[in-house]
């Protein structure tokens, strides 16, 4: 693997190309890993695409809840497509080099889509809050215009923040090493390669992460505190079970995504290790999107009914 450097003033060299180590330490498993991640990518794309098609063609699924689910499924396809194709190419060709511009682009899209996921999960929690706590006003509050505005807002609200964050990270000079001990261009391993004092950049990254993660998560907690309070007041056990089943899938996805992402980005720098970061990143970037279609379909009777109707339609 060749290292590319550019000489700047003072005869100091700076990195113009990175090397993504990925899983190069598992040299005997490269073929197996390629097949595994290719299978996972196909499962994610096919599973989420199927949910989008079902919601599009099935009249029974023309509801705000499923409108947001279709957005979420499309987001998951985009999210993994920022990371997995590049990883598959690296595993197949064993050429792990990535230019500085490509690395910055990958990070920017990863961060923007991650922010979108945070806010979209908050919007989905709000939708469940209105449906369960204010059922009579639900059709008026969650009308088509409101749903569209909430979805569009989720997609664009994090864009300027994450573009700015990517710009401030890649404004650093990288002159000690160009080897990234990760399978994609994530913030912690990139900052480790920077020259000089990076404390200000780490503080900015932490503050932005707090804003992007804590604001949606607080809204989700507020929504579910109201939802749980309302469900517990229902007179029958069957009514409580039905109400809880409408939001249990979403709650499970929230716990999986926010749990692993929080451990990665909010743990002290001293606790970071390459192996641990890679494992956690695999969880919230690949494993969770793979299980999301199954979580939402297997735990939702309306989706299962629509799937049966599609499969057995003459």
The answer on pLDDT for 306 being more than 90 is no
**Does any domain span residue 188?**
yes
Whether 8 is covered by a domain: the verdict is no
6 found inside a domain: no
Identify which of 271, 248, 17 has the alpha carbon closest to the alpha carbon of residue 132.
248
Dump pLDDT digits (tens) for 63-85: 898 899 899 999 999 999 999 99
Confidence tier at 12 by pLDDT (50, 70, 90): very low
Tally of helices (H runs) and strands (E runs) in the chain: 13, 5
- Total number of domains constituting the chain: 1
Write out pLDDT tens, residues 13-43: 467 788 888 888 787 888 898 999 999 999 9
Residue 265: pLDDT band with limits 50, 70, 90: low
Residue 7 is assigned to a structural domain of this protein: no
pLDDT tens-digit readout, 135-183? 888 999 999 999 999 999 999 998 998 999 999 898 888 876 788 888 8
Residue 23 is assigned to a structural domain of this protein: yes
SS3 18: strand
Q: Confidence class of residue 266 from pLDDT cuts 50, 70 and 90?
A: low
| Segments forming the whole domain that contains residue 218 | 17-311
Which domain CATH number covers 141?
1.20.1070.10
Does residue 10 sit within a domain? no
Asked whether residue 48 is assigned to any structural domain, the reply reads yes
């Amino acid at each position: 693997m060749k290292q590319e450097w550019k000489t700047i003033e003072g005869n100091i060299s700076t990195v113009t190309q990175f090397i993504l180590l990925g899983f190069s330490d598992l040299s005997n498993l490269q073929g197996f890993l390629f097949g595994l991640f290719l299978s996972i990518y196909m499962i994610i794309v096919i599973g989420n695409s199927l949910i989008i098609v079902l919601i599009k063609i099935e009249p029974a699924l023309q509801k705000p809840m499923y409108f947001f689910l279709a957005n979420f499924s499309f987001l998951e396809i985009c999210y993994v497509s920022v990371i997995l194709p590049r990883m598959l190419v690296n595993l197949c060709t064993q050429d792990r080099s990535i230019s500085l511009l490509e690395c910055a682009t990958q990070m920017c899209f990863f961060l923007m889509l991650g922010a979108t996921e945070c806010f979209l999960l908050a919007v989905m929690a709000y939708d469940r809050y209105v449906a369960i706590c204010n059922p009579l006003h639900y059709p008026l509050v969650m009308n088509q215009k409101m749903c569209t505005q909430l979805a569009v807002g989720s997609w664009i609200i994090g864009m300027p923040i994450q573009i700015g964050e990517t710009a401030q990270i890649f404004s650093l000079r990288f002159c000690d090493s160009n080897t990234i001990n990760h399978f994609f261009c994530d913030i912690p391993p990139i900052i480790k390669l920077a020259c000089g004092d990076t404390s200000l950049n780490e503080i900015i990254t932490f503050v932005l992460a707090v804003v992007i993660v804590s604001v949606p998560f607080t809204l989700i907690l507020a929504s579910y505190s109201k939802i749980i309070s309302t469900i517990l007041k229902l007179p029958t056990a069957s009514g409580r079970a039905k109400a809880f089943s409408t939001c249990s899938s979403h709650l499970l996805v929230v716990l999986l995504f926010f749990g692993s992402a929080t451990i990665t980005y909010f743990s002290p720098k001293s606790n970071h290790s390459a192996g641990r970061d890679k494992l956690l990143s695999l969880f919230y970037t690949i494993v969770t999107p793979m299980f999301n279609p199954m979580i939402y379909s297997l735990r939702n009777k309306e989706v299962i009914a629509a799937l049966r109707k599609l499969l057995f339609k003459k």
